[in-house]
């Protein structure tokens, strides 16, 4: 008897993570079937995906884009096209789906990702913003609905691989003393500070090691990405922020480490290619081929480490502050960052304004206990309004 194929939904299929996921899936047609894919407005890319991979459903969050896609695919297509936010939640929670790759960028990914969690799916989490803005609630829902949360962010996937399988029982009881979260430091690790004002979006999105979407590339350049990842690690692994150390590692070969009470430090290494964590999560608990080139350590030859400088990267300080303040402050930090990054990418504000706008927004918008989603979404909106006004000053 042949085993039933594992049905996969990809939220954010046209993006960088979405494309890497399709690449890994296409290497294992005997294991996986593509149930559904989603995108926002990128109709041409979606058309290509539908023609190449024939998913059962294709959802465009933007309804007008769904109509255009439907016309382009034609009546004979095997793919049903749907549009709008409710359809995103439907393909994330459908009874037939086994795994959901959550790879929408930003806070808009929260509701469809939560829908997958609430349906008890295997949730492959790339969309770190969802966890940053609603971490406590998100993790509660994971436990309540018995969802399996598999981290895709390379650092968190590395930590996951370096922890024992029963780590949710508590890291302390497993002998873990510290998590070492590595980051390359991005393109401006050594740029003289007096040149930061003149940084252009084109320079900021040119990451030295990773090829990623524009928002996370800017986050890597400000190191807000590491700040968001710090918050992500605290929620995913239930550790206090003092136990997470950020370590600069410019080669991006070690993807993070876990230190134990006997002095052991376990590291996960590999090429900087997201297909490794994606394959790890798709295949878990088995290992499957990802298409990533083997690592040649002789060629790499050096692994360097340094401390992260909060003066150069004020976003790191702001992320730690948001954790300390707690509640919806992390949603406020995230929302202000999304607004400021969009504005920088649109050439409206200088690079150094990003951190300033986040800090001012955190000081101006009151945060609350994040007991329910409504409060979080309200504070997210208030932070967006505040940050938008600041970008226009
Ligand atoms: P991307 O910009 O390349 O792709 C984003 C995807 O989200 C696209 O498919 C887009 O259509 C969709 N999307 C955007 N706005 C939307 C909206 N309003 N409604 C519905 N869908 C929308 O981004 P990416 O680099 O693939 O990153 C995706 C997520 O994964 C982010 O949260 C990022 O932080 C995280 N991540 C990415 C990488 C990476 O290497 N790219 C690594 C770690 C984590
Ligand atoms: Mg990462």
- Residue 246 Cα to ligand 2 midpoint, Å, equals 12
Q: What dihedral angle (degrees, nearest 10) is formed by the CA atoms of 90, 33, 269, 240?
A: 20
The one-character DSSP state at 4 is P
CB of 114 closer than 8 Å to CB of 190? no
Give the length of the chain.
393
Name the phi and psi angles at 163, rounded to 5. -100, 155
Pairing of the two strands 254-260 and 176-183: antiparallel
Any atom of ligand 1 within 6 Å of the Cβ of 7: no
- Residue 304 Cα to ligand 1 midpoint, Å, equals 29
Pairing of the two strands 244-248 and 306-307: antiparallel
Residue nearest to atom 40 of ligand 1 (CA): 212
Domain spans, the chain: 6-151, 160-272+299-391
Any atom of ligand 1 within 6 Å of the Cβ of 81: no
Q: What are the DSSP calls for 134-146, one per residue?
A: HHHHHHHHHHHTT
Query: Rounded to whole angstroms, how far apart are CA atoms 208 and 342?
Result: 21
- Residue 7 Cα to ligand 1 midpoint, Å, equals 21
Any atom of ligand 1 within 6 Å of the Cβ of 61: yes
Class of domain 160-272+299-391: mainly alpha
Which of 213, 219, 227 to mutate to test ligand 1, by most ligand atoms within 8 A of the CB atom? 213
Residue corresponding to tokens 């990809």? 10
- Residue 154 Cα to ligand 2 midpoint, Å, equals 5
Question: pLDDT of 108-148, one tens digit each?
Answer: 999 999 999 999 999 999 999 999 999 999 999 999 999 99
Crossing angle of helices 224-237 and 128-144, rounded to 10°: 10
Query: Rounded to whole angstroms, how far apart are CA atoms 339 and 360?
Result: 13
- Residue 277 Cα to ligand 2 midpoint, Å, equals 10
* Residue 169 preceded by cis peptide, ω within 30: no
Query: Rounded to whole angstroms, how far apart are CA atoms 346 and 307?
Result: 32
- Residue 96 Cα to ligand 1 midpoint, Å, equals 24
pLDDT value at residue 1: 53
Q: What tokens appear for 154 in the block?
A: 């390379």
Give the position, in ligand 1's atom list, of the atom nearest the Cα of 13: 9
Class of domain 6-151: alpha beta
Give the pLDDT means over successive 10-residue stretches in the chain (393 positions): 88 98 98 98 98 98 98 96 98 98 98 98 98 98 98 98 96 98 96 96 93 96 98 98 98 98 98 98 98 98 96 97 98 98 98 98 98 96 98 95
Q: Which residues of 262-288 are buried (b: 16+ CB within 10 A; e: fewer)?
A: eeeebbbbbbbbbbbbbbbbbbbeeee
Any atom of ligand 1 within 6 Å of the Cβ of 21: no
pLDDT value at residue 210: 87
CB atoms within 10 A of CB 186: 25
Is this structure's pTM higher than 0.85?
yes
Give the position, in ligand 1's atom list, of the atom nearest the Cα of 130: 32
Query: Rounded to whole angstroms, how far apart are CA atoms 47 and 69?
Result: 7
Any atom of ligand 1 within 6 Å of the Cβ of 84: no
Q: Is 309 helix (H, G, I), strand (E, B) or coil?
A: coil
């Amino acid at each position: 008897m042949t085993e039933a194929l594992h049905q996969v939904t990809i939220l954010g299929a046209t993006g960088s993570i979405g494309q890497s996921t399709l690449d890994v899936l296409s290497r294992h047609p005997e294991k996986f079937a593509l149930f559904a894919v989603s995108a926002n407005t990128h109709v041409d890319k979606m058309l290509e995906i539908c023609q190449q991979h024939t998913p059962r459903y294709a959802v465009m969050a933007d309804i007008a884009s769904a109509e255009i896609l439907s016309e382009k695919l034609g009546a004979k297509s095997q793919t049903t096209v749907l549009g709008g936010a409710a359809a995103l939640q439907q393909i994330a929670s459908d009874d037939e789906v086994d795994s959901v790759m959550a790879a929408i960028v930003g806070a808009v990914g929260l509701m469809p990702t939560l829908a997958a969690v609430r349906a008890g799916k295997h949730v492959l989490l790339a969309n770190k913003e969802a966890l940053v803005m609603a971490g406590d609630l998100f993790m509660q829902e994971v436990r309540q609905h018995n969802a399996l949360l598999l981290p895709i962010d390379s650092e968190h996937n590395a930590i996951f691989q370096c922890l024992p399988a029963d780590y949710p029982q508590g890291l302390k009881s497993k002998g873990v003393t510290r998590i070492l979260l590595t980051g390359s430091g991005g393109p401006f690790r050594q740029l003289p500070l007096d040149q930061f004002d003149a940084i252009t979006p084109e320079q900021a999105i040119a990451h030295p090691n990773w090829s990623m979407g524009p928002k996370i590339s800017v986050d890597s350049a400000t190191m807000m990405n590491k700040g968001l990842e710090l918050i992500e690690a605290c929620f995913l692994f239930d550790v206090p922020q003092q136990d997470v150390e950020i370590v600069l590692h410019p080669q991006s070969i070690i993807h993070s480490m876990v230190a134990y009470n006997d002095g052991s430090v376990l590291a996960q290494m590999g090429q900087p290619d997201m297909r490794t964590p994606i394959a790890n999560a798709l295949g878990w608990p088995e290992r499957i081929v990802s298409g990533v080139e083997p690592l040649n350590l002789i060629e790499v030859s050096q692994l360097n480490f340094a401390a992260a400088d909060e003066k150069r990267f004020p976003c790191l300080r702001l992320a730690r502050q948001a954790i300390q303040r707690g509640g919806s402050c992390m949603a406020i930090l995230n929302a202000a960052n999304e607004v400021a990054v969009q504005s920088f990418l649109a050439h409206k504000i200088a690079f150094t304004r990003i951190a300033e706008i986040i800090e001012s927004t955190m000081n101006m918008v009151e945060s609350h206990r994040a007991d329910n989603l409504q409060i979080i979404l309200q504070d997210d909106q208030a932070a967006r309004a505040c940050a938008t006004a600041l970008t226009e000053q």
